[in-house]
């Protein structure tokens, strides 16, 4: 585990479920695939000593640094609701409000009797000032994806169904319809492949295991 004192700020993207789990205090770690120079370093050198150098190449910073979260968002309604300038898809995807009228996809504003063009914007496009979540990195580790433990899976925000069935929630579909799994590990695998594509779990990549707390 690496511990350093310097403080910088870096952006990190979260999915809707990850955002909600973080806001609820149920998520304190995230795993990201090691890429580019760090990935090449791990390939070219012995894993017995390479990790200490790989830490220096982490694009998300070091323990003590801050992470500001990018998520799906929109400010298309900011002129109609000036006190709520930014909407976040993780809170409400507006699936039943967004309709197409006269060839324009948008949301009806009863206050203004107007159909307002509206769309969700990718988390990649979120500016710093629109972010509502700031985290402080408190731990960093390089490991293989398959090394994740049961406690770490739960710390990733994987949660059980509330129906008492003992099953765990995987990926979400339209209207937040979820896929239940018998184990937390299966649910995590489903969530991982929903984000990274089929076969991404089997590939067992090197990952950054980033521990954080709310800043």
Using an 8 Å Cβ cutoff, are 18 and 199 in contact?
no
DSSP letter, residue 160: B
What is the rounded distance in angstroms from the CA atom of residue 106 to the CA atom of residue 20? 25
Domain span at residue 99?
73-121
With CA atoms as reference, report the closest residue to 156 among 195, 184, 131, 135.
184
Please report whether residue 192 resides in a domain: no
- pLDDT one-digit tens code per residue, 77-126: 887 776 788 999 999 999 889 999 989 999 988 888 889 899 999 999 99
- pLDDT one-digit tens code per residue, 132-170: 999 999 999 989 999 999 999 999 999 999 888 999 999
Instruction: Say yes or no: 154 and 137 in one domain.
Output: yes
What is the rounded distance in angstroms from the CA atom of residue 6 to the CA atom of residue 4? 6
Please report whether residue 169 resides in a domain: no
Instruction: Say yes or no: 48 and 77 in one domain.
Output: no
Query: What's the confidence (pLDDT) of residue 51?
Result: 58
Sign, CA dihedral 158-162-165-166, equals positive
């Amino acid at each position: 585990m690496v511990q350093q004192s310097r403080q910088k700020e870096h952006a990190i993207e979260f999915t809707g479920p990850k955002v909600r789990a973080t806001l609820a205090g149920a998520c304190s770690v995230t795993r990201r695939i090691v890429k580019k120079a760090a990935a090449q370093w791990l390939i070219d050198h012995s894993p017995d000593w390479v990790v200490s150098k790989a830490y220096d190449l982490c694009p998300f910073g070091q323990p003590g640094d801050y992470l500001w979260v990018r998520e799906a968002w929109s400010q298309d309604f900011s002129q109609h609701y000036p006190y709520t300038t930014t909407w976040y898809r993780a809170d409400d995807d507006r699936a039943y409000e967004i309709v197409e009228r006269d060839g324009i996809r948008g949301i009806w504003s009863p206050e203004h009797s107007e159909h307002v063009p509206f769309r969700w914007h990718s988390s990649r496009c979120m500016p710093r000032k629109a972010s509502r979540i700031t985290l402080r990195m408190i731990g960093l580790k390089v490991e293989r994806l398959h090394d994740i433990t049961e406690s770490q899976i739960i710390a990733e925000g994987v949660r059980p169904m509330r129906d008492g069935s003992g099953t765990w929630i995987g990926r979400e579909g339209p209207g937040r319809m979820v896929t239940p799994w018998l184990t937390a590990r299966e649910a995590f695998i489903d969530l991982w492949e929903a984000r990274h594509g089929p076969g991404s779990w089997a590939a067992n990549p090197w990952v950054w295991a980033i521990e954080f707390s709310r800043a």
